[in-house]
Amino acid sequence: MNKFKILLIVLVSIGIFLLVYCPHYHYRFPSHIDEWHHITEAMRLEKGIYPFGVTGYEMGFHALLALLSKFANLVLIYRFLPAIWAVVSALVLFYVVYSGQNARYIECSTHYKKTSKFNIALLAMIFFASIKSNVNILGLWFFTPLTFSIPFIFLYVYFFTEGLEKKNKKYLLISLAIMVLLLPIYPISFFFAIPFLLIYSLFNLEFIKKEWKFFLIFLLIPLSGIFFYKYESNFSWPALMGKFLNSLQFKRGWGIVEMNNSPFELYSLMGYVLAVWGLILIFINKIYLFSINKINIKKYLAYALWPVSLLLLIIIFKVTGVSYLSPYQRNLYYLAISLPLLSAIGLENLIQRSKMILGKISISLIVVMTIGLSFLKYFYVPEKVALYQMINEKEYQALLFLKNIPEEEKILVVPRMAGALFPVSGHSPIGEENRQDMKTFFSLETDTQTKQEILKKYQVNYIFTDWKIDGPWNLIYEDGSYIYKIN
């Protein structure tokens, strides 16, 4: 790769970082409640008070954050992590596409071998950056197990398909290792891919039958998943399998907020059109319409089956109200990350066709306009899934004040800021088991006597709120936030 191509990759990477970092230009704290939650669990893991159970299914991610917390303040550096990881994910996609093209385009002419492969890989990075985010479906703007798993998804799909295609056991073992690695980090990031990987495997059944003893090691994935589930859930063995299978069915209402999401909340109309064209090109077994060279459809079959299988799962959910293997919201996102490669193939094909009738300047304008349309309304977020801020700067300073209070002291905090209490001050918010009591206490209609009863019930030592409240309590902090000590 020459210096000019390296420069293009660097420029695109910088652009991706700046694009994803945009929501944090004027806000230096985590921008989603899930991010605060993961910081909390990482700190609890480090302190030895980790709540195993459903939370534990992402323990690997929390362990990573706990390790990172030894070198930096998670609350203050978290705003950089989404942008950094978006660049990492885009570069991994570039590697997968570019290195994958070496095998996939051996039938093409030298011209295509040296230029088109790089163009597709670079365009795939750009289309990947165009995937949108919101607080319901999540996305690149947030650093969560969902986004952390993205580059590993690209890698295990690549090594698995290349391993079968080239009959390369080393590649297959690398893919297996990545899959097993993802189980304690975000199991869904592997489960969603089972349908299209199984279908792809059928096209390589002869090799699998010949090496059936080797492929038995892939049983490590379900066995590891079952043992990890047993460790986390503490179910008895007789009840385990039923519970395990039931946990892979995500019924309507799985998310805190169930919405009828539009496909354009994640990807642009232009991106979809180009992806459909790329998919058609793969299925008609010809990447370049003006080239006599064809490719073996098996080489791209997995990347075509990926979005098709997810569309079927989404349709099943719409009809039955049940999403299998992974939740509906996650299937939408995994569909989106399968499209940049297809969009890049579609656009590159259009570029090649345009060369026959247009000059370089005209082609360049078409490419710029197409990419621009792909980022159209990138920052537009529907009000129902708009970004929110859990705390502001003054509230953060108040939380730092609480950090000086012994951790065993109990603090009642206004629900809006409850998720930030433990990450900043080290105190666990009380009343999580009965949120109605918290709402009652902070209601303007609640009388002082009722508030006193709630304080006594939870043995509260301090009250932390963002407005003044009446009562026989000592105000010890007042600067945009209010902290009261209970006598």
Spatial distance between the Cα atoms of 229 and 210, rounded to a whole number of angstroms = 32
**Mean pLDDT (whole number) for 188-217:** 88
Cα(445)–Cα(170) distance, integer angstroms: 67
Is the pLDDT reported for residue 116 higher than 60?
no
Per-residue DSSP letter, 250? E
What is the helix (H) or strand (E) element at residue 477, kind and residue range?
strand 474-478
State the Cα–Cα distance between residues 62 and 52, nearest whole angstrom: 12
Q: How far apart are CA 147 and CA 348, in angstroms?
A: 27
- In the numeric block, the tokens 């297959």 are attached to 172
| DSSP for 328-378, written as a single string | HHHHHHHHHHTHHHHHHHHHHHHHHHHTTTS-HHHHHHHHHHHHHHHTTTT
The helices-and-strands tally (H runs, E runs) of the chain is 24, 6
**CA dist 485 → 368, 380, 398, 461, 477 (Å):** 60, 43, 14, 6, 9
Q: What is the dihedral of CA 24, 28, 30, 36, to 10 degrees?
A: 180
**How far is Cα 444 from Cα 465, in angstroms, rounded to an integer?**
13
What is the structure's pLDDT at 281? 84
How many C-alpha atoms does 456 have within 13 Å on its Cβ side?
A: 6
Asked if the model's pLDDT at residue 234 lies above 90, the reply is no
CB 428 within 8 A of CB 398: no
How many angstroms separate the CA atoms of 130 and 271, rounded? 8
pLDDT tens per residue, range 81-100: 999 999 999 999 999 888 65
pLDDT tens by residue, 39-79: 999 999 888 887 765 555 788 899 999 999 999 999 999 99
pTM of the model: 0.87
pLDDT band per the 50, 70, 90 thresholds, residue 297 = low
Question: 481 with 466: CB under 8 angstroms?
Answer: yes
- Mean pLDDT for the stretch of residues 469-485: 89
The residues facing 478 across adjacent strands are: 482
% helix, strand, coil for the chain, step of 5: 65, 5, 30
